[in-house]
Amino acid sequence: MADGAPRLQRITDYPALLTEAWAQHLAPREPNAPTVISTFAGCGGSSLGYSMAGFREALAVEWEQNAADTFRLNFPHVPLYHGDIAKLSVEECLRLAGLAPGELDVFDGSPPCQGFSTSGKREIGDSRNQLFREFVRLLSGLRPRAFVMENVSGMVKGDFKVVFAEILRTLKACGYRVKVRLLNAMWFGVPQSRERMIFVGVRDDLGVEASHPSGWSEPFGVTPDAAPDGVWLTPAQVVSAKAHKAKQEAKGNGFGWSPIDPRRPCATLPKSLSGTFSHPLWVESADRLRAPSSAELSRIGSFPHGFRFTDRAAQWTRIGNSVPPLLMRSIARHVRTLIAR
C-alpha cells in the first residue's frame, strides 16, 4: 500500500457489522435528516443503505408485485408508488413525497439493466435500456440537490459505449455536475464481488464537484451456516449444474456454477435461483453440492438478519436485483457530505 494511502479495514466480525448497520437503520431520524426518493426501488436494498446513512425516504417507486410486497414488509412507513414509473408525473411524485421542486436532497434510481448486462443478450434496442429516460424526466422536474444512478458494468463495454455516452450527456444537460465510477461492493464491507457503475450528480448551482466514496474494507468471505434450508442437489442436478457452468463460461457470461469460498468474496449473485451455487465446505463428494441457505444469501447481499423476505425463491431474486445495502450506505454517506448545508 502506498505511503499516505488510507488503510483498509479488516472485517473480523461481519455479523456485528450487520447488527450495527441495522441499528443505524432503526435509529430515529434527525429533524434535519436529508431526504431521498428511490425509483426502481426493488425490495429496498438501496433504501436500506440510505436509511443506514441517516436519510429519510420520502417516496419509493416500484412496479413488480413481489418486490413491492417485500418493500412494504420492511418499510411500512415509507410512501410507495406501486406502478409504472412512466405513468408517474412530476406533480404526483412531489405530492406523494410532500416536497416542492428543489427541496429533495437525493434522487436515486437503478433503472433495469438486463439490456446492458453481460449475462443477457446485450441488445442495444432492448426497451429496458430506455427506462433511464423516465429517471431523467423525473430528475428534471424534481431538481434535487444531488442524484445517484446505478447500473451494471456492461454498459461501458463494446457497442454500449455509445449508449453510455448518451446517458452521461443527458444527465449533465439536466443541470448537474456528473462523475461516473465503477465500484465493487467487496471494498465496502460486502462479501460479494459485485461491480456496478455508479453515476453521482450534484446540481450546478451548489458549486460542488461530484465524487465517489473510497473503498474502506479488505475483501472477505463468509463462513457457512448449518444450512437447515440449504438445497442439496441430486447427482443428476450436479451434472446439469456443471453443464450450465461450461455453457455460460463458453458464452463469456460469467454466471456459471461458482463454488463459494469462505476465504474470498462470493461471485456476483445472479437474479435467479438455479441451484448452480454451492459451498465447498459442504461438498462431501463430487456429487454432493448445495445452494446457499437463506441466511447465507442475506449475508452475501449484506442484508441484516432483521430484513424479511416473502419466500426463499423470491429472496434470491430480490437480493440478485438489489444494490447491496452496505455499498449504498457508503455512497449515501459520501453524497451527504457533498450536499451538506
Task: Examine residue 7 and state whether it is found in any structural domain, yes or no.
Answer: no
Q: What is the pTM of this model?
A: 0.88
Task: Examine residue 81 and state whether it is found in any structural domain, yes or no.
Answer: yes
Identity of the amino acid at 26: L
Q: Kindly report the average pLDDT of the chain as a whole number.
A: 85
Number of domains in the chain: 2
Percentage of the residues of the chain whose pLDDT score is greater than 90: 61
pLDDT tens-place string over residues 75-116: 999 999 999 999 999 999 999 999 999 999 999 998 875 444
The domain of 145 spans 14-218+320-338
Task: Examine residue 312 and state whether it is found in any structural domain, yes or no.
Answer: no
Q: What is the model's pLDDT at position 116?
A: 43
164 shares its domain with 239 = no
CA–CA distance, 189 with 56 (Å, rounded to integer): 23
Per-residue confidence band for 121, with pLDDT thresholds at 50, 70 and 90: very low
CA–CA distance, 309 with 316 (Å, rounded to integer): 9
241 shares its domain with 146 = no
Percentage of the residues of the chain whose pLDDT score is greater than 70: 82
239 shares its domain with 199 = no
Q: What is the model's pLDDT at position 213?
A: 98
Residues annotated as catalytic (active site), given as ranges: 113
Strands 56-62 and 176-184 turn out to be unpaired
CA-closest candidate to residue 328, choices 149, 118, 172, 95: 149
Task: Examine residue 223 and state whether it is found in any structural domain, yes or no.
Answer: no
CATH of the domain at 124: 3.40.50.150
Residue 248 has pLDDT above 60, yes or no: yes
324 shares its domain with 294 = no
36 shares its domain with 173 = yes
203 shares its domain with 244 = no
pLDDT tens-place string over residues 25-72: 999 999 999 999 999 999 999 999 999 999 999 999 999 999 999 999
Is residue 189 within 8 Å of 219, Cβ to Cβ? no
CA–CA distance, 99 with 72 (Å, rounded to integer): 21
Task: Examine residue 139 and state whether it is found in any structural domain, yes or no.
Answer: yes
CA–CA distance, 320 with 317 (Å, rounded to integer): 5
